[in-house]
A and B are shown apart, each in its own frame.
Chain A
Amino acid sequence: MRMNRRGFLQTLAIGGGALSAPSFANARQDKALSPGALGLLYDATKCVGCQACVIACKEVNGMPPEFSDPDHLWDAPLGLSASTRNVIALYKEGGRHSFVRQSCMHCVDPACVSACPVKALTKEPKTGVVHYDAGTCIGCRYCMVACPFNVPKFEWGSAYGKIVKCQLCDHLLAKGEKPGCSSACPTGAIQFGGVQKLLQEAHARLKAAPGAYYPKVYGEKEGGGTQVIFLSALPFEKLGLPDLPDVSSATLSETIMHTTYKGFGMPIFLFALFAFIARRNLQKGKEE
């Protein structure tokens, strides 16, 4: 059989139609915040940069120190890593400066959970903590690519490397204690609690001192919302918090994937396309 241009275009149209038709039916909605969701409110205007949270995090999670100086004098991580789940970074511009805490945001609709092919990353239904299970993980590191905040880190030095990230000290939460960072914070810059309450608190602070803050609660809507929310005097982009759309990236990617694979559509279409090309080439060879 030899297909002409007309026939080829027809095949494409049918395939494309088959793919696009159910796309509306598969449009995914952002996941909603659980009423019992727990999170943190980090107020950069209250942070004094003492790094007590960094020490406390390492202590309660049994993480080794990380050196960045030749003499190995300090536990001085340059950012999140396999041995650092929580770090305080400094932004400086002219005479102004601000600290910012880098750690897992515990997204309401996490991209890492969506990207994980084996459910090693799960979102706890009640508290909303994004939990990692090393026993399930296959080490594909899709979560690292998927995370819009660049949070999950891999143990590159280990032959059986695991993913390391903040789990909101869920081992302490189980005992009724607060996460290490918020217990250690001497100024109350890291406040632990229910996300709804924290959002109320954040808005109350914005209202009480409008001049002191950049007029936004970061994490209320960004990327579908996060359970770790931020207040700052400076624009959040300067503190390394990306300007994300209100729709989570999990919604975008899952809509595309679930649409194209609906009824095994994409594989069948691709197989048909390649079969056609292969057959055409075969015919061409015979004629010659």
Chain B
Amino acid sequence: MATAKKFSYNSGSGKPLADLSRRQFIKFCGCVAAALGMPASMAPKIARAIEQGGRLPVVWLSFQGCTGCTESLLRSTHPTLEKLIFEIISLEYHETLNAGAGIQAEAALKETLNRDAGRFVLVAEGAIPLADKGVYVRINEQAGVDLLNEVAPKALAVIAIGSCASWGGIPSAGPNPTGAKSVGSILEGRPVVNIPGCPPNPYNFLSTVLYFATFGKLPELDAHNRPKFAYGRLIHENCERRPHFDAGRFAKAFGDDGHRKGFCLYKLGCKGPETFANCQVVKFGDVEASPISIGHPCFGCTESGVGFEKPMFQRADIQRFTPPAFYPHVFEPRGEGVTPLTAALGGVAFGGAIGAGYALTNRLFKATDGKEGADKPKGGGAHEDE
């Protein structure tokens, strides 16, 4: 790429930057536009936003989590992590990726908070424990909840990455001994974009950051503050196994014939019909795979009240019922017809009516005979009685 024009970007901190060819750079912007569901014509606009605005300072705080969200981000390939943190954003503080440690790292955070106050993006990973004054997360002798409350007010925008930060995730699952809460519930009153998932798809995160950098506003969010471009539809709606569901072909046990043939996993407890996420479109690890692709039911990690809460193999509550892939006949027989039970009941009722009628007639004639004398015999029953 000797002839390719090179661009360099200035970071807020004035650190030296790596170079990226124009071609590679526009390609990346095109990928981001596609992930956001935007036309390819948006790519130059995104590119311009990155070029002109300088690199977006990002502070990444880790709380009660497994660092799986970071691990997920480390494995993204377009862009790769080094391109992301050296050329697109300016990662000022991240416990796992900090170059320095201890006092140096904390000094970097303090410096960012002073220098970039009101213009950095805060990314929070992990839930916030509130029980026992928040002692279950302590960073630099500070409780997690206090750190969040110190940093968040200075941030331009807050992104809660992963299910733990978005709605509590694993730490908040019953009995929740640490009193884990979501980032959004701590920072009440200020918008927090939730990127749930365990782990979340790194491209949902990247696309949100780039959307923010390009348009200067947050993407459209759903009722749970999740970006609609990523969490607007059910897993079930975009699932590659959906035709099997519609046709009534289900895997009924792991390793059975249906499971081997790739049938629908609903009856194994797949939570796709009640989980909103784009896993079946974007896939994971850049290898066109998702849990459902490899034969395991979705367990609903992006959905509060489903992931880590509902038993993994319990059947999902279908959110949107649609017709199956078969049809009623033009002349559809309705009802079950005559069953042995209904025939017996009908017979009993009919027989009872006949018997009652007979008894009634007998009595009637008996009464008439008594009044008018025996010279006017009318009913056979009356004679039998005599």
Contact = CB atoms under 8 A, between A and B. Distances in A.
A108 B183 CA distance: 62
A75 interface: yes
A74 B322 contact: yes
18 contacts: A55-B323, A69-B324, A73-B248, A73-B266, A74-B246, A75-B321, A76-B323, A76-B324, A77-B323, A77-B328, A78-B328, A78-B334, A87-B328, A88-B323, A88-B327, A100-B330, A240-B330, A240-B331
A77 B266 CA distance: 21
A238 B324 CA distance: 23
B330 A65 contact: no
A65 B245 CA distance: 17
Interface in B327-385: 327-332, 334
Contacts of A91: 329-330
A89 B328 contact: yes
B322 A75 contact: yes
Interface string A64-96: 010101001111111100000001111110000
B330 A238 contact: yes
Interface string A235-269: 00011100000000000000000000000000000
B334 A89 contact: no
A90 B322 contact: no
A49 interface: yes
B332 A89 contact: yes
A97 to B, nearest CB: 10
Contacts, number: 59
A75 B323 CA distance: 5
A51 interface: yes
Interface string A122-156: 00000000000000000000000000000000000
Given A73-B248, A76-B326, A90-B327, 18 more contacts: A54-B323, A65-B321, A69-B248, A73-B266, A73-B318, A74-B323, A75-B321, A75-B323, A76-B323, A77-B323, A79-B332, A90-B328, A90-B329, A90-B330, A91-B329, A238-B330, A239-B330, A240-B330
A239 B246 CA distance: 24
Interface in B192-248: 245-246, 248
- Centre residue among B245, B248, B323, B332 by max chain A CB count within 10 A: B323
Contacts of B266: 73
Contacts of A74: 246, 321-324
Instruction: Determine the interface band of chain A, counting residues with CB < 8 A from chain B.
Output: 20 to 34
A49 B327 contact: yes
Contacts of B332: 78-79, 89
A72 B266 CA distance: 12
B327 A73 contact: no
A217 B266 CA distance: 44
B355 to A, nearest CB: 32
A276 interface: no
A180 B45 CA distance: 37
Interface residues of B, number: 17
Contacts of B326: 76, 90
B323 A89 contact: no
A77 B327 CA distance: 9
Contacts of B324: 69, 73-74, 76
Nearest to A49: B327
A87 B328 CA distance: 9
Contacts of A65: 321
A51 B246 CA distance: 12
B359 to A, nearest CB: 29
A95 B326 CA distance: 17
Interface string B42-64: 00000000000000000000000
Contacts of A78: 328, 332, 334
Given A73-B245, A73-B266, A89 B329 contact: yes
A239 B327 CA distance: 13
A236 to B, nearest CB: 11
Contacts of A69: 248, 324
Nearest to A87: B328
For the complex of A and B, the 4 pairs showing the least CB-CB separation, nearest first, are: A65-B321, A90-B327, A75-B321, A74-B324
A49 B324 CA distance: 11
A52 to B, nearest CB: 9
Nearest to B273: A73
A79 B331 CA distance: 9
Contacts of A238: 330
A72 B328 CA distance: 16
A1 B322 CA distance: 74
Contacts of B334: 78-79
Nearest to A77: B328
Contacts of A240: 330-331
A260 to B, nearest CB: 35
Interface string A215-247: 000000000000000000000001110000000
A96 to B, nearest CB: 13
Nearest to B333: A78
A98 B261 CA distance: 30
A192 B255 CA distance: 49
Contacts of B327: 49, 51, 88-90, 99
A62 to B, nearest CB: 13
A73 B330 CA distance: 22
Contacts of A54: 323
A228 B96 CA distance: 67
Nearest to B332: A78
B287 to A, nearest CB: 31
Contacts of B323: 51, 54-55, 74-77, 88
